[in-house]
Structure 1
Amino acid sequence: MTLIRQLSTPAAVVDARRMQRNIERMQSRMDAFGLRFRPHAKTAKCLPVVQAQIAAGARGITVSTLKEAEQFFEGGIADILYAVGMTPDKLPRALALCRRGCDLKIITDSVAMAREIGSFGKRHGAALEVWIEIDTDGHRSGIKPGDAVLLDAARALHDAGMRLGGVMTHAGSSYDCDSREALLAISEQERAGAVLAAQRLRDHGMACPGVSVGSTPTALSAARLEGVTEVRAGVYVFFDLVMHNVGVCTTDEIAMSVLTTVIGHQEEKGWAIVDAGWMAMSRDRGTQKQKHDFGYGQVCAEDGAVLDGYLMSGANQEHGIVSRAGEPDLGIAERFPIGTRLRILPNHACATAAQFPEYQVLPPEGGVQAWPRFYGW
């Protein structure tokens, strides 16, 4: 049996017990609302993780790349929403998946692309299922719920014989919240905007069966979800320090960390140097604009216990700097001798996970299991 102390560092470590609790927490909330839950697989990009989500009750998945869709389909998962705007060059690949039996849903947020999808589908005798992306918070892409373009895009799909699966939205601005009141407000804004868009389509004689909303903060905060048919969320499976600052998890619920080893010191500066730099942690400094800046990550002992006040305060490509916030720890070499193993909680789990080809999973029964993750587009 491989043990954590035998792992080479840096390594992406997943606490399976915490991960399972996170999965069950989200699923039980969606079950209480009586809604379909379609987890976003882009965080873990790992088949065993998705299988655990489906075993808990998830129905279908969301992906961010067609490669994810292909690989999860090969792993036995057929109900897939590709939640990134479709482009003409990707349509043949999407159609190939559909013809292999994948229940693939694609999205668009423009009349031009709706027409392109329709033209492509007609040429190939395929009625593709298309969802229209709605912008409910001005954060990224999508059509405003009240915009006339929404009807034009839907008509373009309908007239070409495509299937309008529904409308979907993602309240990415929820990541900027840090109070219960703000989370409730953005959750309701997300819900109301998506429901309004769907109702406008129905009022104009177009079927709109699906209303899909979601982000980890809104999924865990919404007080009401009337009119919604499904919810999506991704980072909840691991959580991270950004989500901690948003207020939807504690550090004890963060399931992924980076195992690292102390390789040296700058004692006069109060620094311990570790072998996990930004190539291991990523350059994501998502907590920098929040009330609590964790630098490149929160330092923990090898067993996962948080070491209050110690952060990864700096990072080069393969070197990380561990120091104490505020007054420097001039005894840091004694506290963390060379060879000490530490674990760093990440700012953004998706970005940190992407630095590694596999997870070193700590199951409840002990030992370590290697779970591969997907790469590429």
Structure 2
Amino acid sequence: MTPLATLQTPALLLDVQRVERNAARMRAAVTDRGVLLRTHVKTSKSIDVARLVIDPERPAITVSTLREAEIFFDHGMHDIFYAVGITPNKLDRAFDLRARGAALMLVVDTVDAAHAVASAARRHGDAVPVTIEIDSDGHRAGVRPDQKDVLLAIAAALVEGARVAGVMTHAGGSYNARSDDELRHYARLEREGAITAANHLRQAGYDIDTVSIGSTPTALFAEHFKGITEVRAGVFTFFDLVMAGIGVCGIDEIAISVLSSVIAVQPDKGQIVIDAGWMALSRDRGTAAQPVDQGYGLVCDADGVPIPDLIVAAANQEHGLVRVRDDSPCPLPDLKIGDLIRILPNHACATGAQHDAYQVFDVECRAATAVWPRFHGW
């Protein structure tokens, strides 16, 4: 057990109790309605954290890198969806993982990518299951649900060697929602887009078994999952300020924070300097476009209680500049050199990626009781 005061800062703190509550909430929203929850492990990149969240009876996961797939496979999680469009230079590595026993599913959204996968599948003698990505809300990649000809051309290219498993989509547009009604709207777009595309494939004679959707906001605000086989979500594991800003979670549900030390107090400049810059917090400014801009993170005291209107307003590589919001009447808190504060992240995935390990934090004894490693790379 390491007392909070003796931890080297900056350090990434993890509240296990909050993770468990967040996981229970997502299971109630998805699994309890009879749909597979395929947890996205890119958020934690940690075997220890994943074991808190994933259903041990059906340990299905989503990954965003092949390194994630390989590491989680080595730790007994074999049902894996690599949910980023596959590129030709990664195909042999993906098929090697399948040859080791992984039930790895891939995704494409172009005819050229489909041809590449089919060619590799023939070369390896492995009819890999592949989903076609659908653009259900104009957010990022994928085929629009109404582009039936493109969808069927991709499917025709895939069956030259691979298997058309179904469709997948991600309602990234939900991150722009500003009300519960808008969140439900994005959830409907996501569901209806996936089902429309799946029906095009079925009507063309493809026997598909996967209709995969997913984002934390839409998973929690979907009215139902009729016609959907699985939901992919990841940031619910920790939540963050972006999720709080769109009304998906409360500040008190955010499970990670960055512990930092005060290194200078500058009342003449209206700021406090801390040892957590963007190397500890990340450069993600996901709340900048929200009604409440949280800067580089919301500042809390050492117990995790937010200090009124205090944010990390600017960040250099190893320095954070803590200030009161411009329009706030609150005073700069009376902090001293060496005092500890905790910073809640804008984007849990990005902040986590800056650290090699979680300090598992016990709230009652104000100490780290374990160190859980994270991994990096692609």
TM-score relative to the length of structure 2: 0.96
> Equivalent residue for 2:185?
185
Q: Which AA in structure 2 matches 1:216?
A: T
Q: Which residue pairs with 2:373 in the alignment?
A: 372
Kindly tell me the number of residue pairs found equivalent between the two proteins: 375
The match for 1:242 is 242
Is residue 321 of structure 1 aligned with residue 304 of structure 2?
no
Amino acid at match of 2:372: W
Query: 8 Å contact 1:27–1:57 — kept in the other structure?
Result: no
* Contact map agreement 1:12 1:358 (CA 8 A) in 2: yes
Match of 2:155 in 1: 154
Q: Is the 8 A contact 1:24 1:56 kept in 2?
A: no
Shift, 1:162, TM fit: 1.5
In the TM superposition, 1:154-303 aligns within 5 A as: 154-158=155-159, 160-303=160-303
Deviations 1:257-313 (A, max 9, x none): 100000002211221110001111111111011100011110001111111211111
Describe the superposition over 1:112-164 as per-residue Cα deviations: whole angstroms up to 9, x where unpaired. Answer: 11111111111221111111111101111011112111011111112x24222
Give, in whole Å, the separation in 2 of the partners of 1:312 and 1:350: 18
Alpha-carbon contact 2:59-2:77 (below 8 Å) kept: no
Q: Distance in 1 between matches of 2:97 and 2:289?
A: 40
For 1:77 and 1:39, locate their aligned partners in 2 and report how far apart those are by CA, in whole Å: 11
TM-score, structure 1 normalization: 0.96
Matches within 5 A, 1:97-176: 97-147=97-147, 148-158=149-159, 160-176=160-176
Q: Tell me, what secondary structure is at the counterpart of 2:127?
A: coil
Task: Show the counterpart of 1:351.
Answer: 350
2:335 match: 336
Give the SS at the match of 1:142: coil
The 3-state SS of whatever aligns with 1:140 is: coil
CA-to-aligned-CA distance 1:331-367 (integer Å, 9 cap, x gap): 74x7111111000001111110000011111257854
2:344 aligned partner, one-letter code: L
Is the Cα contact below 8 Å between 2:261 and 2:340 reproduced in 1? yes
Q: Which letter maps to 2:135?
A: D
The one-character-per-residue Cα deviations of 1:44-95 (angstroms, maximum 9, x if unpaired) are 1100111111247664000000001001111111000000101111010000
Q: Secondary structure in 2 aligned to 1:192? A: helix
Is 1:21 matched with 2:40? no
Q: Secondary structure at the match of 2:30?
A: helix
Deviates most, 322-331 or 334-343: 322-331
For residue 5 of structure 1, report the CA deviation from its aligned partner. Answer: 2.0
- Counterpart of 1:306 in structure 2 is 306
| Deviates further, 30-39 or 286-295 | 30-39
Looking at structure 1, the residues matched to 284 and 58 of structure 2 have their Cα atoms a distance apart, in angstroms, of: 29
* Compared CA separation, residues 127 and 5, structure 1 to 2 (3 A): same
Q: Which runs of 5+ in 2 are unaligned?
A: none
- 1:297 and 1:165 mapped to 2: Cα distance? 41
**% identical aligned pairs:** 50
Provide closer, same or farther for how the CA distance between residues 365 and 320 of structure 1 changes in structure 2, counting only shifts above 3 A: closer
Secondary structure of the residue that 1:232 maps to in structure 2? strand
SS of 2:221's equivalent in the other structure is coil
Say whether 1:38 aligns with 2:34: no
CA contact (8 A) 1:27 1:58 kept: no
Structure 1 residue runs without a partner (length 5+): none
